[in-house]
Amino acid sequence: MGAVYFYHLTRQPLERTLPVLLDKARQAGWRIAVRGTDAARLDWLDERLWLEPAEEFLPHGCSGGPHDADQPILLTTGAAANSPACVMAIDGAPVDPDEVAGLERVCILFDGNDDAAVQQARGQWKALTGAGCAAQYWSEESGRWEKKAEA
């Protein structure tokens, strides 16, 4: 059974934090789905990922293409066609407890400077841990990532 890691972004924006986590997941040999709630926001994120330096390039694509199943990293608003081992949920994208059980990891990234995003993440924590999912809460408030809670 997988675990859910909550990342409370307060110092670095999503477009800086996500590539670091994607790289770590790729190093683990995982396929990843980045799940958002808005296609335009994922297109924006896609552009940012293409701007990464060549030595840090993260092979990825947006869902709806002919090669979705082959993508090591797939940006999507729904179910992922690339059989991911890891789902990274952004912008309050939903995660089902049953889904967590079939994955190596779920990462929920949320903007700590947005009260609505914080409340959404708290609701997800309560729902997922209440359903028996293992979870960790990570904060970068001190300037480096620290585990603040575990359930």
Judged against a pLDDT cut of 80, whether residue 3 lies above it is answered with yes
pLDDT digits (tens, 9 = 90+) for 75-107: 999 999 999 999 999 999 999 999 999 999 999
The whole-angstrom separation of Cα 51 and Cα 47 is 7
Helices (H), the chain: 14-27, 39-50, 97-101, 115-130
Domain assignments of the chain as residue spans, ordered by start? 3-150
| Burial per residue of 37-66, b for 16 or more beta-carbon CB atoms within 10 angstroms, e otherwise | eeeeebeebeeebeeeeeeeebebbbbeee
Does the 3-150 domain belong in CATH 3.40.50.10110? Answer: yes
Report the pLDDT averaged over residues 134-140: 96
Q: Is the pLDDT of residue 55 over 80?
A: no
- Residues in CB range of 10: below 8 A, 6 or more apart: 112, 113, 139, 140, 141
Res 53 pLDDT > 70: no
Other CB atoms within 10 Å distance of the CB of residue 149? 12
User: For the segment 110-126, what is each residue's pLDDT rounded down to a tens digit?
Assistant: 999 999 999 999 999 99
